[in-house]
Amino acid sequence: MSEPVTLLLDVPSGWSGHWAGPLREYLPHARLIGQEDAAAEAARIDYLVTFRPRKGLLASLANLKAVFCLGAGVDGILADPDFPRDLPLMRFVDRSLSRELAQYVVMHVLIFHRGQRYFDAAQAMNKWRQRPLVRRTEDTRIGILGLGEIGTMCAERLRDLDFVVTGWSRSRKSVAGVESFAGAGELAPFLARSDILVCLLPLTAETLGILNAKTFALLPKGAFVINAARGGHLVEADLVDAIDRGHLAGATLDVFQHEPLPAESVLWNHPKITVTPHIAAITDPRAAARAISEGVAAIERGEPAPHRVDIARGY
Ligand code: NAP
Ligand code: GLV
């Protein structure tokens, strides 16, 4: 009989219960190792399950067959200089994750579009202040940076609410009712027609700092920005400057240069910025365990696992 495979679940101990149950359910014959036993078991670990590996961990795992990322974005793993460039890396792709992110994006688009902050402020003063929409829905153009798994579902949901939706990606897309812009050459015209800009790109060498002063200057005056991708996409000082000068109307940010967002960050108390703590879409442990079990089974059969990351491309 073949040896059971060994998986290292690299999540802080407070979270391991959350993930371990579903992994045991979907991989009943595997040996599941927690962070606390990683050093003692290093040579026997076949598969690493992680989101942002602790420094030095990858270097200590000499016999890894593959890494499974607990999230959609693999930047935290690829940033580790010890990640072997030829090792299979799988990311998490699931309808449940896209759906959660689409809910987050739709909610924050609507909070801005419907002027909800104005009504919250009026309620706080016991004031009955009626006001029409600032811009009609069918005249509101939403631009989505990144028309991949998640961006596409967001685009479809917003299109179904009658917004004018466009998407920007590397390759041209065909999504019903959504205009597709592709490549660096089409970024400027895409931005020029984005009253609300939503970032759902992976963080790569090409997209690092893409939300910067130059980008904001290309957006129409009064545009609103939602960043639910990675903090590295945004030059935070440029955003605050563009809002304070009145060029941008405001922003919703779920991700930050430094997480947790430091208590002294000006973003916390900015009156036109909404801050959420990287919760736009949280991986469902059962869905992740199912995907990992399918990936492990494929690799053990000598086949490629689904959702393998193209390391050279970075996503
Ligand atoms: P995906 O399916 O890989 O889609 C990425 C999209 O970005 C693709 O359309 C791709 O274009 C485009 N893209 C990549 N590099 C580009 C470039 N240089 N220029 C133009 N377009 C480029 O990724 P996903 O599953 O939708 O996830 C997107 C990101 O969301 C993740 O990487 C992660 O950072 C973030 N995320 C955040 C949360 C949260 O809670 N805040 C949760 C989940 C995910 P092509 O299609 O042409 O390749
Ligand atoms: C979360 O940030 C993810 O990448 O899934």
Q: Which ligand is nearest to the CA of 315?
A: 1
Q: Where are the domains of the chain?
A: 6-94+283-300, 95-275
> Which of 216, 213, 210 lies closest to 230, judged by CA?
210
> Is a pLDDT exceeding 80 seen at residue 2?
no
* Residue among 100, 200, 283 whose CB has most ligand 2 atoms within 8 A, to mutate: 283
**pLDDT of res. 139:** 98
> Is a pLDDT exceeding 90 seen at residue 14?
no
- The CB of 71 under 6 Å from ligand 2? The reply is yes
- The CB of 230 under 6 Å from ligand 1? The reply is yes
**pLDDT of res. 92:** 98
Contacts of 40 (CB under 8 A, 6+ apart): none
**pLDDT of res. 1:** 54
Catalytic residue set: 230, 278
Percent over 70 (pLDDT), the chain = 100
> Which of 216, 95, 82 lies closest to 145, judged by CA?
216
**pLDDT of res. 16:** 81
Ligand 1 atom 19, closest CA? 170
**Which atom of ligand 1 approaches the CA of 71 most closely?**
43
Question: What would the mean pLDDT of 171-198 be, rounded to a whole number?
Answer: 98
**Which atom of ligand 2 approaches the CA of 230 most closely?**
2
How confident is the model over 198-208, as pLDDT tens digits? 999 999 999 99
> Is a pLDDT exceeding 60 seen at residue 18?
yes
Ligand 2 centre and the CA of 73: distance in Å?
5
**pLDDT of res. 181:** 98
**pLDDT of res. 77:** 98
According to CATH, the topology of domain 95-275 is Rossmann fold (3.40.50)
Q: b or e along 266-278 (b: 16 or more beta carbons within 10 Å of the residue's beta carbon)?
A: ebeebeebbeeeb
Q: Which ligand is nearest to the CA of 75?
A: 1
Ligand 1 centre and the CA of 271: distance in Å?
29
Q: What is the CATH number of domain 6-94+283-300?
A: 3.40.50.720
* Residue among 51, 255, 256 whose CB has most ligand 2 atoms within 8 A, to mutate: 51
